[in-house]
């Protein structure tokens, strides 16, 4: 069960965020409303939400998931692979927020790069995708830090997705949403895989929060598959975040 969530309000500079989506620039006023609805859904799922102030100098800073990995034993501050995001990981308000919840805070160091959008937690085990943003040096540091606290991790080769969790979502109870290249990845054979079709691939980025699953709006086949598994579903529109390669999991730290 998750007790706490940290989010950051999107900044007015969100339209300058990194993107490969080709869907136009996000509209700040819409992004703000969508973020408020996202926080409302999280609150409905029974967590305490810490809301950090926007940072205009960092257009992607609402995607807080990438700058820290929150585990049951420690928080690990990452070192983002995207240069424009590297200083986000050291923002004082984020460190202070984590210090309220964690006695132990660790850091990924050069030459390692890690964005926690590449990390999927399954109990005490963490799958770490090797992507354009997370390198092997960073993944090895991350695994060593996890092992220091009695947790475990393994690397997953990737070729297509931006982040590991772009195409994977663990919904607890051995249920795993899979899209694209991960449908045939040997690492995930033991899971009950719910395959997501190409036309709704973005919908694979859902989040499980205390028996609710938050699902992006506009992906009815994904929503039905999750409801058929017996989960309570909350739907949140993330269309403005999709324009800058972001989704539901990217917008929060959940622990």
> Residues forming the annotated binding site for substrate?
18, 60, 65-66, 85, 133, 244
Instruction: Give me the catalytic one of 62, 70, 163, 206.
Output: 163
Assess whether 35 carries a catalytic annotation. Answer: no
Binding residues: 18, 60, 65-66, 85, 133, 244
Instruction: Give me the catalytic one of 62, 74, 206, 250.
Output: 250
DSSP string for residues in the chain: ---EEEEEPPPGGGGGS-----S-PPPHHHHHHHHHHHHHHHHHTT-EEEEEPP-TT-TTTT-GGGGEEE-SS-EEE-B-SSGGGGGGGG-HHHHHHHHHH-S-EEE--TT--B-GGGEEEETTEEEEEE-SSS-HHHHHHHHHHHHHTT-EEEEEE-SS-SSGGGSEEE-STTEEEEEGGGGG-GGGTTSEEEEE-GGGGGGG--EEETTEEEEETT-HHHHHHHHHTT-EEEEE--HHHHTTT--TGGG-EE-
Assess whether 250 carries a catalytic annotation. Answer: yes
Q: Among all residues, which ones are annotated catalytic?
A: 163, 250
């Amino acid at each position: 069960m998750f007790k706490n969530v940290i989010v950051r309000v999107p900044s007015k500079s969100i339209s300058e965020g990194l993107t490969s989506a080709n869907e136009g620039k996000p509209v700040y006023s819409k992004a703000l409303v969508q973020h408020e609805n996202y926080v409302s859904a999280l609150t409905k799922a029974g967590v305490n939400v810490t809301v950090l102030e926007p940072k205009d100098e960092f257009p992607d800073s609402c995607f807080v998931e990438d700058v820290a990995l929150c585990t049951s034993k420690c928080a690990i501050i990452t070192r983002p692979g995207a240069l424009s995001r590297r200083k986000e990981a050291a923002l004082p308000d984020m460190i202070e927020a984590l210090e309220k919840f964690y006695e132990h805070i660790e850091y990924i160091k050069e030459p390692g790069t890690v964005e926690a959008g590449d990390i999927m937690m399954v109990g005490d085990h963490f799958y770490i995708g090797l992507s354009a943003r997370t390198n092997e040096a960073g993944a090895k540091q991350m695994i060593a830090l996890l092992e220091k606290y009695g947790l475990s991790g393994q690397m997953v080769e990737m070729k297509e997705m931006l982040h590991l969790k772009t195409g994977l979502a663990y919904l607890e109870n051995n249920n795993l949403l899979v899209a694209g290249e991960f449908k045939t990845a040997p690492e995930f054979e033991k899971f009950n895989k719910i395959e997501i079709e190409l036309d709704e691939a973005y919908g694979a980025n859902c989040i499980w929060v205390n028996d609710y699953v938050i699902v992006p709006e506009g992906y009815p086949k994904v929503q039905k598959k999750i409801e058929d598994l017996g989960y309570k579903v909350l739907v949140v529109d993330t269309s403005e975040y999709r324009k800058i390669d972001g989704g539901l999991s990217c917008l929060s730290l959940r622990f």
